[in-house]
Amino acid sequence: MTCPICEKRKPVRFCPAKGEKICAVCCGTEREASIDCPIDCPYLVAAHRYEDEHPRQLPPETPLLDVALPSDIAYMHPQLIASIAFTIAKFCASNPAATDAEVSTAIQAFAETYKTLASGIYYERQPAAQVARDLYSAITDSVTEMKQQAARTRFSVPKDSDIFYVSVFLYRMGLLRTNGRPRSRRYIEFLRNQFPEAKELKREENRIIVP
């Protein structure tokens, strides 16, 4: 028998995504690339553990990297951060095929829109891809509702500049939390794990049985 992917090497690892054994090399190279790995695959968990020991760095060409975030951004706007983060996690729970890349695209577009708002000009920058555009709309609706509720209850309404900074903060966090693979959902899982009691984010247990 040979690996069904490369058709060269001996299959030694059971791949729950493919339902059969593949070789170790293809497991490593195709993981979260051509293979849509379930989050509880033991080989994926081990790979993520290794990645945690080797933090990513943002490359110089990263969009919005020139934005100087307030050092206390996470402490000044915890509710706003939590609201947007929960919106993303909830959207992805309802759209399990969504990836970190699509989340980053949506947050970047949202940040770019609020960058124009903070400068006094409104120019909406919706993503072209459907999933990212739908998430962008979900984030926009959530923030709009939060602003309206704050106004009704006479609480402080978040400024457009604050929303911009928070979105840049979440955008950068996503780039650092993901591993850059096409089908990575590391950032999505990180956000999901911030709300362990939320029923909307619960998933059915998927018990992987390795032959």
pLDDT in tens, the chain (211 residues): 899 999 999 999 999 999 999 999 999 999 999 999 999 999 999 999 999 999 889 999 999 999 999 999 999 999 999 999 999 999 999 999 999 999 999 999 999 999 998 778 878 889 999 999 999 999 999 999 998 988 888 778 889 999 999 999 999 999 999 999 999 999 999 999 999 999 889 876 555 444 4
- Domain of 13 in residue numbering reads as 1-54
Cβ–Cβ < 8 Å for 73, 169: yes
Residue 164 lies in a domain: yes
| Same domain, yes or no: 177 and 157 | yes
Are 119 and 181 contained in the same domain?
A: yes
Q: Is residue 77 part of a domain?
A: yes
- Which positions ≥6 away from 90 have C-beta within 8 Å? 138, 198, 200, 201
Q: How far apart are CA 70 and CA 145, in angstroms?
A: 25
Residue 209 in any domain: the answer is no
| Model confidence pLDDT, tens digit, residues 121-172 | 878 889 999 999 999 999 999 999 998 988 888 778 889 999 999 999 999 9
Residue 67 belongs to a domain: yes
**Alpha helices for the chain (secondary structure H):** 24-30, 42-52, 73-76, 78-94, 100-118, 130-152, 160-177, 186-193
> Within this chain, do residues 116 and 196 fall inside the same structural domain, yes or no?
yes
pLDDT on residue 78: 93
pTM for the predicted model, two decimal places: 0.91
Nearest to 5 by CA among 29, 38, 37, 41: 29
The total domain count for the chain is 2
* Number of residues in the chain: 211
Q: Which long-range contacts (CB under 8 A, 24 or more apart) does 174-179 make?
A: 174/100, 174/103, 174/104, 174/107, 175/56, 175/58, 175/62, 175/104, 176/55, 176/56, 176/58, 177/100, 178/56, 178/100, 178/101, 178/104, 179/32, 179/48, 179/51, 179/56
Regarding whether 109 and 69 lie in a shared domain, the answer is yes
Report if residue 157 sits inside a domain. yes
| Cβ contact 95:158 at 8 Å | no
In 3D space, the residue among 116, 97, 115, 108 whose CA is nearest the CA of residue 58 turns out to be 108
DSSP state, 157? P
Q: Do residues 26 and 84 both lie within one domain?
A: no
Structural domain includes residue 208:
no
Same domain, 47 and 89: no
Residue 207 lies in a domain: no
Are 106 and 139 in contact by the 8 Å Cβ rule? The answer is yes
